[in-house]
């Protein structure tokens, strides 16, 4: 089956008693067993039966199965947030004394997790320029476990060369871990680019309608030891996805392709139109042909560029004025909602960062991040234009 068909038609793990078309939501925390022998087998994973919903639930398993079929992964784990997917999987890979080679251009919470939280437990993050392979190589030593990259950084929109990083990592016996939240995994194959472990905030494209928070750990080649560690971490940290979220996100996954096609086309159209507004100093979108990362994004992601645009305005005050004048576009965080959203990252997501940290992370104080929705772009463009051109 092709991707679009697979997203819709995944068989249930076992036949539903009533032939329900939508996956039933198993709102249960525990399961009854026919006898003590089967019960023992279930608890010791000798038979694939759910025992307790902190680690296994039929609705969540179905969502994980759909993702496995769509990505060709060995194992998929659904967790309660993107951050849970990132923290739990990295804790499964690393132990005290290990280090992770990564970039300063990371999602704000990931940067804090690596630089602050993990540091307290003896896991070191080494920040370098992931676009400079020599710098990456120099940062790696025998305690390095993985290279950790975001495929399109946020809000800078830097695109790393996954094949080159995978080649370097594998030549030194390390793993490549990639946060691919910015482009749906139905549009490009992280596996074929050499990614060992793919992490996704399913809060974004998959949830779609701003309905639920979730995260995915998609394992292509981390092996049995990782699977056992991940199972242990899931049991002991308790961040497994809940059945209701899995149900909502299964629906999101089924219509992801339809939404993404429209959102990405809308984003391309809007990016071009925004260039005609004089108050916007720079439109950052890798879909634009003169963007410095256009060629690599085109090659890696099969000519699709996501649905996030960053615009540079004249000053922080101009950013606040713009946000305050918006009528249709929502002032909100989140990405890839059905609605178009706008945020000033420097004063919000990075609002509590020190000025040194902001410099280290290259967070611009004049940047507005837009996440483009499903609306008619005539209306979104008109709202942005009126919010910017009021002084002209
Ligand atoms: C949102 C996001 C996360 C965190 O995901 P949550 O679901 O909010 O925990 C991680 N990485 C990227 C790139 C994100 O956009």
- Looking at residues 344-351, what average pLDDT do you find? 95
- What value does the mean pLDDT take over residues 84-106? 97
Cα Rg for the chain, rounded, in angstroms? 22
67 lines ligand 1 (CB under 6 A): no
Confidence at residue 390, expressed as pLDDT on a 0 to 100 scale: 64
Pocket test for ligand 1, best of 80, 81, 83 (most atoms within 8 A of CB): 83
Q: Is 21 exposed, middle or buried (0-12, 13-18, 19+ CB in 10 A)?
A: exposed
Cβ of 89 closer than 6 Å to ligand 1, yes or no, is no
**pLDDT band with cut points at 50, 70 and 90 for residue 378:** very high
Distance from Cα 202 to the centre of ligand 1, integer Å: 8
- Residue 158 CA to residue 93 CA, distance in Å, equals 26
Query: 246, 234, 217: which is closest to 58 by C-alpha?
Result: 246
- Report which protein residue has its CA nearest ligand 1's atom 2: 201
Residues facing 309 on adjacent strands? 370
Q: Do residues 60 and 202 touch, judged by C-beta distance below 8 A? A: no
What phi and psi values does residue 273 have, to the nearest 5 degrees?
-70, -35
Q: Report the C-alpha gap between 216 and 71 in whole angstroms.
A: 12
Whether residue 208 contacts residue 226, with contact meaning beta carbons closer than 8 Å, is answered with no
Confidence band for 392, pLDDT divided at 50, 70 and 90 = very low
Give the separation between CA 117 and CA 94, rounded to whole angstroms: 14
For the chain, give percent helix, strand, coil, nearest 5.
40, 15, 45
How much is the pLDDT for 386?
96
179 lines ligand 1 (CB under 6 A): yes
Provide the CB-side half-sphere exposure for 329 (13 A, CA).
31
- Quickly state the pLDDT bin for 129 (edges 50, 70, 90): very high
**Cα–Cα distances in angstroms (integers) from residue 336 to residues 261, 322, 343, in the given order:** 12, 21, 13
User: With a 6 A CB cut-off, is 152 part of the ligand 1 pocket?
Assistant: no
| For residue 96, pLDDT beyond 90 | yes
pLDDT at residue 196, as a whole number: 98
Q: Which of 103, 204, 245 gets mutated to test ligand 1 (max ligand atoms within 8 A of its CB)?
A: 204
Mean pLDDT across 335-343: 96
pLDDT tens column, 350-361: 999 998 989 989
Ligand 1, atom 8: nearest CA belongs to which residue?
82
Verify whether ligand 1 is closer than 6 Å to residue 148 (CB atom).
Answer: no
Q: Answer whether 383 contacts ligand 1 (Cβ < 6 A).
A: no
Q: What is the pLDDT of residue 391?
A: 52
Distance 35 CA to ligand 1 centre (A): 43
Pairwise CA distance, residues 229 & 368, whole Å: 40
- Among 149, 109, 108, 156, smallest CA distance to 126 is for 149
Angstrom distance (rounded) from CA 229 to CA 231: 5
| Residue 367, ligand 1, Cβ within 6 A | no
Binning pLDDT at 50, 70 and 90, where does residue 154 land?
Answer: confident
Minimal CA–CA distance to 149: which of 215, 196, 208? 196
**Whose alpha carbon is nearest atom 6 of ligand 1?**
82
pLDDT tens-digit map of 104-128: 999 999 999 999 999 999 999 999 9
């Amino acid at each position: 089956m092709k991707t679009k068909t697979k997203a819709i038609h995944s068989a249930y793990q076992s036949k539903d008693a009533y032939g329900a078309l939508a996956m039933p939501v198993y709102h249960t925390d525990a399961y009854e067993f026919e006898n003590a022998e089967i019960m023992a087998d279930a608890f010791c994973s000798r038979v694939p039966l759910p025992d307790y919903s902190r680690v296994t639930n039929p609705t969540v398993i179905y969502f994980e199965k759909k993702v496995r079929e769509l990505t060709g992964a060995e194992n998929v784990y659904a967790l309660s947030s993107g951050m849970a997917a990132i923290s739990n999987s990295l804790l499964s890979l690393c132990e005290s004394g290990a280090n992770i080679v990564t970039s300063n251009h990371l999602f704000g919470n990931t940067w804090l997790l690596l630089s602050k939280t993990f540091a307290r437990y003896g896991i070191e993050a080494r920040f370098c320029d992931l676009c400079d392979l020599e710098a990456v190589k120099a940062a790696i030593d025998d305690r390095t476990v993985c290279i950790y990259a975001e495929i399109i950084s946020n809000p800078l929109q830097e695109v790393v060369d996954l094949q080159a990083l995978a080649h370097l990592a594998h030549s030194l016996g390390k793993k490549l871990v990639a946060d691919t939240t910015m482009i749906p995994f139905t549009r490009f194959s992280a596996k074929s680019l050499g990614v060992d472990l793919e992490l996704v905030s399913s809060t974004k494209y998959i949830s779609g309608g701003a309905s639920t928070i979730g995260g995915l750990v998609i394992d292509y080649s981390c092996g049995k030891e990782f699977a056992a560690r991940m199972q242990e971490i899931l049991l002991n940290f308790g961040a497994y996805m809940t059945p209701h979220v899995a149900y909502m996100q299964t629906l999101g996954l089924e219509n992801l392709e339809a939404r993404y096609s429209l959102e990405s086309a809308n984003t391309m159209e809007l990016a071009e139109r925004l260039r005609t507004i004089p108050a916007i100093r720079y439109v950052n979108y890798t879909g634009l042909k003169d963007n410095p990362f256009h060629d690599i994004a085109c090659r890696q992601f099969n000519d699709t560029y996501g649905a996030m645009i960053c615009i540079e305005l004249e000053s922080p005050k101009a950013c606040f004025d713009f946000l305050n004048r918006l009528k249709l576009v929502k002032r909100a965080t989140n990405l890839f909602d059905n609605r178009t959203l706008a945020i000033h990252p420097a004063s919000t997501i990075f609002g509590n960062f020190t000025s040194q940290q902001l410099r280290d992370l290259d967070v611009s104080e004049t940047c507005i991040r837009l996440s483009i929705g499903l609306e008619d772009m005539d209306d979104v463009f008109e709202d942005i234009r009126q919010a910017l051109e009021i002084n002209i």
